Amino acid sequence: DVKVTQSSRYLVKRTGEKVFLECVQDMDHENMFWYRQDPGLGLRLIYFSYDVKMKEKGDIPEGYSVSREKKERFSLILESASTNQTSMYLCASSSDRQGDGYTFGSGTRLTVV
């Protein structure tokens, strides 16, 4: 069964901490994405990557960075966590065939206190 695995389902971090969210896919997909999902705001794209070591900003990149050193792994980094980064974070991957859509991970619910 193909899947996208996010390293943590729930995380609680303190304000100012550096936070790493890890995502691994086993489908050999070229494209990987990080979204955050908040009530009333829907899914918002933070960063995405079309290839190893390549990254592009999405709609809300401020306060985040990413790393893609290997094709199967895409990491989201919160440089200095703040309370307004409390959210559900979703990782997704896709192939280069547009009609195939995204495969999402189960999400990481991050709370910053």
Partner 1 sequence: TQLLEQSPQFLSIQEGENLTVYCNSSSVFSSLQWYRQEPGEGPVLLVTVVTGGEVKKLKRLTFQFGDARKDSSLHITAAQPGDTGLYLCAGPFSGTYKYIFGTGTRLKVLA
Interface residues with partner 1 (CB under 8 A) are 4, 30-31, 33, 42-43, 45, 48, 50, 58, 90, 92, 94, 96, 98-107, 109
Give the CA count within 13 Å in the CB-facing half-sphere of 29: 28
Residue 100 Cβ, how far from partner 1 at the closest point, in Å?
A: 8
Other C-beta atoms closer than 10 Å to the C-beta of 79 total: 12
Residue 80 Cβ, how far from partner 1 at the closest point, in Å?
A: 26
Q: Which of 68, 104, 76, 92 is nearest to 18 (CA)?
A: 76
> Is the CB of 19 or the CB of 32 nearer to partner 1?
32
> Is the CB of 50 or the CB of 80 nearer to partner 1?
50
Tokens at residue 112, please?
Answer: 């910053």
> Is the CB of 18 or the CB of 53 nearer to partner 1?
53
What single DSSP character describes residue 52?
A: T
Residue 70 Cβ, how far from partner 1 at the closest point, in Å?
A: 19
CA distance 23 to 54: 16
